[in-house]
Each structure stands twice: as structure tokens, then as C-alpha cells.
Structure 1
Amino acid sequence: MVEINGSRLDARLDQFAAIGATPKGGVNRQALTEGDRQARRLLTKLALARGFDVFQDQVANLFIRRRGRYDDLPPLMMGSHLDSQPTGGRFDGALGTLSAFEVLESLEDAGVETERPIVLVSWTNEEGCRFAPGCMGSMAFSNGTIPNEWYDKRATDGASFASELKSTIESLPEARVKALAFPISAYVEVHIEQGPSLEAEGIPVGVVTGIQGTRWLQIAVKGQTAHAGTTGLAYRRDPLWALTSALSQLYQNIMPPDPDARFTVGRISASPGSVNAIPDEVTCTVDIRHPKLERLDEIEKEVISAINCAADRQHCAVDISRTFDMPPCTFDQNLQEVIIAAAGQLDLEWKAMLSGAFHDALFVNRVAPASMIFVPCHKGLSHNEAEYVEPLNALAGCQLLAKAATMMATGEL
């Protein structure tokens, strides 16, 4: 049995958390920044010291490869990401990447020869907060190409994606640049749950069955600006009244009767934004999620209908566009069974879970069997500087990854 060095894993987490550390204990290590490059250089240094092969691709995905007995077999892949939110936590992404590295080190320590090679990946720009969309690295890997429009993108700080990508790749000359995509046998990712259920139930690991679908809408309701004090009800064309009445109806009708549904208005604004003027236009974003594609379609139609009906009553015009559409995915059943069997051998209690957030595994699942292992995070906090994972839970997730990876890469199953 491969023994995980929990103290080493904790030390690695501390070491990487120091890169981009914030005063409140979190991390600001956004994609393709100098902090991101520093983390990539540290991981590369650690990997080369252990004799692992290191390479990257044209979208700056970073790969660390441990050879197998039959080295030309498609490798087992595991990993996550190292980039963070502007006020992110120290475990989101980093735990999965460093757990995978600890598995490679533990296999090396034990002298275990696997049938096939194992590759650790640190995906580029999972978070999507500096450059949109998120999951750029895994998306490009699964598609086998980088969309041309990405090169014209600008970061929230004005930086050019093309320039920052080039600088990031060039900052790591030790890692040769290889083709964008290559065959893999399977992919497993450890990640914090980003929700409270595992901690609340006292369960150390979750086996993720899939990821719910996500759809984003941009909504604009257009009315007429008029004086707040002199314009009576009969003469108003108030887009904010229309929008808020529709949203009130949707809040009542979508989530309460359907526990699997998610409906969120994350951003709302009114123009001209004067305290004593009826707005002429209001805009908002809507995020809807559901594990079933047909229900996702139904919710979108319900949102569009409610907005249009409310706007008609106020004699307002409506413009609704879909800005993001990610269908739900189901992870490979055989791979889940391997992870469950590994949990049984380790005597780890586990729970089947659906992911509410999307991850790199969703895109890899399009080209190879994929699954995920969740570990509890304190109070479910994530994308937050207070994000925390108990060392014992981090260790449990890493042990399960090691056992499952060994079973898959040594031919035990």
C-alpha cells in the first residue's frame, strides 16, 4: 500500500499559499500573473528534483509525468489548478494539484512501478476571474485547439491574453512545449466541496457523480425616464418595477419546489441611476443551474416568459441574450466504482455527490473517463480568504486518490 506523507502535503500547501498570500490568510494568484508563474516554477522545481518529466502545452497547461512500465500506454491523469480568485482561498485548486503531486512522490518513495505512466496536470485559468471564460486550459485540451478569439481578450486589469500567455510559457524554459492534446486513459481530480454537506454530515470524502448544467442570461428591460415626483402610476414606463416584480415571482417559483434547481441574480444596475428619476433601462444577470438538461430548458423559458410578461404590463421593451451555456455532465460509472472500491479498502465513509460548480473535470470528461473526489471545507466557504480544510480531511482525500490511482495504473482492476 502506498503511504501518503501527510506532513509533507501540509507543508506543500503552506509553501504554495505563501505565493500571493493576502493579509487575511487567503491567496491572490490570478491566472497568467507573476504569482501564477511563480507557483508554476516552484512545482516544476519540485518535480525535476524527483526526476519527473515536465512539459507544457500552447495554452500553458503544465504537466508532470512519472514513467510507467509500458511507457507508451495512454497515461492516467490527475490534478487541478493553481490559479485563484482575487481574494481566494489557499485550497481551491491547489489541494487537488498538490495532492496529485504527493501521490507521485509517494509512489516514488515506495518504489512502485505502475503499468502505465501517470501525469499530473495543473490547468490554466480554471477560475476565469482575470480572463473569461474559466477552465480555458481544460477546454482547449478537450477541444484540441485554442479559439482564435481568446487571443484578443483583455484581462480585468487591461493586460492582453496573448501577451500574458506568451510570457507565462517563456517563464518556464525547463518545460518544453508539446502538442496541445494527447490521449489519456482516465482523469481524477481532488477538490474541496465548496459547500457544507460533507462537513455537516461528518463524512470525509465525496464521490462526484457529475456536474449540473449552467446557463447565464443577460437581461435588459427598457422603459422611459421621467420625474419621480410628478409622474403618476398611469403614465409610468418603469423597467425596474417590471424587472423586480418578475424576479420576485421567479424566486418563489423556481427553487422552492425544486431542490435541484438554482436561480441567482448576481448583478443588477439601473440607468441613469438618479435618486429622483424613474430609470430608462435596467439590466441584470441570471445564473440558472440544474442536473437535467430538459429542466434547465424549462427554467430558461420560465425566466424569459416572466420577464416579458412583466415588461408588457409596464409597456417596456426587453432584450435577453444567453451569454454562457454549459450542459450537465455525468461522470464515468466505472471510474466511480474504482474510487468507491478504493474507499472501501481504506475504510473511508463516502457519499455520492453532484457538483454544483463546474470544474476542469467536466471538459476532460468529453475526451476520457473522468471523475472527482470531494473533501469537506469548513462551513462550505470557498472563493473566500477564510476557506479552510482540516489536515485530516486533506489527508483522506489524498489517500483515496493514491489508492484509486494505484488501482487504475497498476492493473489491479
Structure 2
Amino acid sequence: MLTIDAQRFMARHESLTKWGATGKGGVNRPALSADETGARRELLDWARKRDFVCCVDPIGNLFVRRQGSSANALPIRMGSHLDSQMPGGNYDGVYGVLAAFEVLETLEDNAFAVDAPLELVIWNNEEGCRFPPTTMGSAVHGGSLSLDRALSAVDREGINVGQALERSLPALGSLTPVDLGSPCSGYIEAHIEQGPVLEALGLSVGVVSGIQGIAQFVFEVEGEEAHAGTTPRDKRKDALREAINLVEELASAIEHDDDVRFTVGKFEVAPGAINTIPAKVVFTLDLRHPNSEELARLIQVVLAMCSSPRRICGVLCRQVLNSPPVQFDAAVTAVIADSCAKAGIETMTLPSGATHDAKHMAELCPSGMIFIPCRDGISHSDREHASAPDMIQGANILLASIIRLAELKSVGASDQKHERV
């Protein structure tokens, strides 16, 4: 059984930890920042030494290709992202990128021929923390988000994605352009679980069945500035009190079962003076559920509550993301499970609570995901950690799964079959 070069793989990971290092074990590497650009360039430099083809699409997704033996075969893809939360961990995203690159290098080391080209994809702006929404690069590539809307998204300094790309891309060296939605025949993404299930069960690899749905909102509550000491209670239009009440009402109406995930992740108050009644509050809501019909119902609950005539302040609610649940291709998940079985690895099938780029790839081609555990289920934190043995194990399962997927594609093509795998 072919296996990766574990020492090289871990050395690659260590090398990328310097880009945006926080000094606390994590990284602060937002999309298209100088540090994320540096990490991208380092990986591209490794790829060019291998004579892999390096490409870019209009939203800044990078493609690293190892050519196949067939000129007509569609590529099989794998990958993840190099951007992080602000700050984030050293495993979210980057693990999947390096595991995929190690697959390419291992096949190259062993002169292992497959018909289909194999491509690593480094998705742009997966986190969405600098430029909302999340999974921007894959959403644009897959067609669920327009390129114009993505390029016009701005960060807190007023820089938009288009401007950030103009600054970042020249530092990456020569890249061959590819079209959005360019065809491929399959996709597998390796990732840390970002949850506690695998670690609790003592499993090193999980097979992901699908991704739960997510809706994200931005609320603006408009009150009125006034003096904290002289304004009577019945004359106040306190935006902060109104926002707090709204959050409590939303949580009470929505958090009715264990499948609901309700998170207010940002809360900004203006003017922010100790002796001034708040005039404006901006906060966000991240709402998730695995059932598409229930998620749609909860979205309507949110919108209806914001328009209630009982509000003493104006409330504007903008839905910035509506990403329905997705189930991964049964044949791809079977390939991953079979690769675990052949390696003698006990595994399980589980859904993903977090969203990933594989969600949008599932709209383009048969897709699946591999999870490895992370310590205490912690992610988006300096404390995020995955063990070297689990990282290596997951990368070997990705390698075996990609080889098997390529073999199935080759058989399907020669037999002129039009099957999902």
C-alpha cells in the first residue's frame, strides 16, 4: 500500500506555521493578507519545483495540477484553504491543503500514473471573517455567488476583494488563468473535525456524510444618542437594550431542539461612550440546522421578529448567507470508507456541523470529506491542535481514496459508463 512521506508532510506543516504566527500556537492569517499571500506563495514555490502546473480563477482560487496520462480525462480535485480566523488555529484548512499536496508529491515520487489529472485547490476566503460571506471562493467557482458581488465585498478598512486580489496576485508569480466552474469529475476534502465526536470515540478518521445548512444575518438597531444622566427612562431609545432584548427573543423562539445552532458572534455598540445612551448596535447571527425545511422556517421566524411593531428602535435585518444542507455523494463516501477498511482503520460516518468548500463542490461533481479529530473539539482558536499520527493517517486515507477514485473513473471511461463515480 502506497503511503505518504510523513516526515516531509509534517515539515511542510511546520514551515507554514510562521505565516501569521500569533506566538500562542495559532495564526492570524485572514484572506489575501500579506501573511496568507506569503503562505500561498511558499506552497506554489514547492509546486513549481515539481513542475506542477499552477493556475488561478477570477476569484483567486489557486489550482496546482499534476498531469494525468489521458489528455481527455477530467481532473479529480482535493484541497481546502490557507486563510484563518482572526486569530485562528494552525490546522483548520491548512491541513487539507498540505494533505492534498502530499498526495501529489507521493504519486510523483513513485511515478504513479493515473489517467486523470489530479489537482490541489487552495480556495480563496473560506473563513469569510475579513470579507463576508464564508466559503466565498468555492461559492463563486460553483456558481452560487456572483463574481461581482464577491469582488465588491469590503473589509473593515474599506478595502474590497477586487482591490485585495490586485495586491496579492502579483506576489504569487506566473499563474495560468482558468475559468470559473471549470469541469472536474470528483472532489475530496480532508479537514479537522472542529468538534469532539471522533476524539471521544478514539477514532483517527471519520467519513463525512454531509454538511448542515447555515443562514447568516447582520442586524442594525438604530436608537438615539442622549445623555445618560438626564434622559428619563420613557424617553430613551436605547439601541443596546433593544438589541439585547431582540437576541433573547430570537433565542427563545429558535432554540427549540438540539439540532439548532444559534450564535451571536459580533456585537458592536456606538458611540461607545460611558455616559451616552447607545444610538446604534450592529450584531450578527449564525443559524444552522441539518434539515432544509426547518432551516427555511427558522429564517422566516427571524425575519418576522425583526419587523415587529413593538420595537422602540428601528431594526434592519440583512440576510448575508443562505446555504442549504447538502448530502455528499454516496459512492465517494463509500470509497473513503472502503479505504479505511482496507487500511484496517476503524471509522464512522458523521455529519459536519461547520460549513466547508466541499459544500459548493458537491454542486459541480461527486464530492466527499475526510475528518480527523482535533483536541477537545476546539477550533478557530490558538488552542486548536491535531496530533501528528492522526494527520498522517488522514493523509494516507486521502491518498488511498484519490487513487481508488481515479481507478473507478478510468474504468468508467473505458466502459463508456455514465455513473456518479
TM-score normalised by structure 2 residue count:
0.87
CA contact (8 A) 1:123 1:137 kept: yes
Aligned equivalent of 2:323, options 305, 323, 326: 326
Q: How many residues are aligned here? A: 410
Aligned equivalent of 1:409, options 395, 400, 406: 406
Give CA-to-partner distance per residue, 1:223-249, whole Å, 9 cap, x none: 666776777766666655554344334
Q: CA deviation at 1:278?
A: 5.4
Equivalent residue of 2:172, what SS? coil
1:304-319 matches, within 5 Å, as: 304-306=303-305, 312=310, 315-319=312-316
The change in CA–CA distance for 1:232 and 1:335 in structure 2 (over 3 A counts) is: same
Match of 2:170 in 1: 170
- RMSD of the TM alignment (CA)? 2.8
Give CA-to-partner distance per residue, 1:119-171, whole Å, 9 cap, x none: 11111221222223332321222129962244444433444533331343322
Range with greater deviation from structure 2 (326-335 or 25-34)? 25-34
Partner AA of 1:8 in structure 2: R
Equivalent residue of 2:283, what SS? strand
Q: Does 1:366 align with 2:368?
A: no
How far apart are the structure 1 equivalents of 2:301 and 2:53?
Answer: 52
Match of 1:51 in 2: 51
How far apart are the structure 2 equivalents of 1:348 and 1:277?
Answer: 61
The change in CA–CA distance for 1:244 and 1:102 in structure 2 (over 3 A counts) is: same
How far apart are the structure 1 equivalents of 2:305 and 2:167?
Answer: 47
Match of 2:134 in 1: 134
1:117-156 matches, within 5 Å, as: 117-143=117-143, 147-156=147-156
How far apart are the structure 1 equivalents of 2:268 and 2:157?
Answer: 22
Aligned equivalent of 2:385, options 367, 385, 388: 388
Range with greater deviation from structure 2 (109-118 or 387-396)? 109-118
Partner AA of 2:321 in structure 1: F
The change in CA–CA distance for 1:238 and 1:261 in structure 2 (over 3 A counts) is: same
Q: Does 1:303 align with 2:298?
A: no
CA contact (8 A) 2:27 2:84 kept: yes
Q: CA deviation at 1:306?
A: 4.6
Q: CA deviation at 1:321?
A: 2.8
CA contact (8 A) 1:207 1:351 kept: yes
Partner AA of 1:33 in structure 2: S
Q: CA deviation at 1:408?
A: 0.6
1:103-114 matches, within 5 Å, as: 103-114=103-114
Q: CA deviation at 1:107?
A: 1.6
Partner AA of 1:267 in structure 2: K
How far apart are the structure 1 equivalents of 2:57 and 2:379?
Answer: 29
The change in CA–CA distance for 1:153 and 1:218 in structure 2 (over 3 A counts) is: closer
CA contact (8 A) 2:306 2:317 kept: no
How far apart are the structure 2 equivalents of 1:302 and 1:160?
Answer: 32
Range with greater deviation from structure 2 (229-238 or 345-354)? 229-238
Residue ranges of structure 2 left out of the alignment (5+ in a row): 412-420
Match of 1:33 in 2: 33
How far apart are the structure 1 equivalents of 2:273 and 2:356?
Answer: 40
How far apart are the structure 1 equivalents of 2:227 and 2:181?
Answer: 59
How far apart are the structure 2 equivalents of 1:60 and 1:106?
Answer: 26
Q: CA deviation at 1:285?
A: 2.2
Identity of aligned residues (%): 38
CA contact (8 A) 1:117 1:409 kept: no
Give CA-to-partner distance per residue, 1:287-313, whole Å, 9 cap, x none: 21111121112223333455555x61x
Match of 1:192 in 2: 192
How far apart are the structure 2 equivalents of 1:235 and 1:90?
Answer: 50
Equivalent residue of 1:350, what SS? coil
Equivalent residue of 2:218, what SS? strand
Match of 1:95 in 2: 95
Match of 1:378 in 2: 375
How far apart are the structure 2 equivalents of 1:156 and 1:367?
Answer: 32
Give CA-to-partner distance per residue, 1:332-391, whole Å, 9 cap, x none: 111111111111111222222222221111111111111111111112222212211100
Partner AA of 1:182 in structure 2: S
The change in CA–CA distance for 1:45 and 1:217 in structure 2 (over 3 A counts) is: closer
Partner AA of 2:60 in structure 1: A
Q: CA deviation at 1:73?
A: 0.4
CA contact (8 A) 2:133 2:321 kept: no
Q: CA deviation at 1:274?
A: 5.5
Match of 2:288 in 1: 289
1:127-276 matches, within 5 Å, as: 127-143=127-143, 147-222=147-222, 240-255=240-255, 257-270=256-269, 273=272, 275=274
Aligned equivalent of 1:354, options 351, 354, 363: 351
Q: Does 1:77 align with 2:77?
A: yes
Residue ranges of structure 1 left out of the alignment (5+ in a row): none
CA contact (8 A) 1:116 1:410 kept: no
Partner AA of 1:175 in structure 2: L
Equivalent residue of 1:340, what SS? helix
The change in CA–CA distance for 1:86 and 1:103 in structure 2 (over 3 A counts) is: same
Equivalent residue of 1:397, what SS? helix
Partner AA of 2:41 in structure 1: R
The change in CA–CA distance for 1:239 and 1:385 in structure 2 (over 3 A counts) is: closer
Match of 1:6 in 2: 6
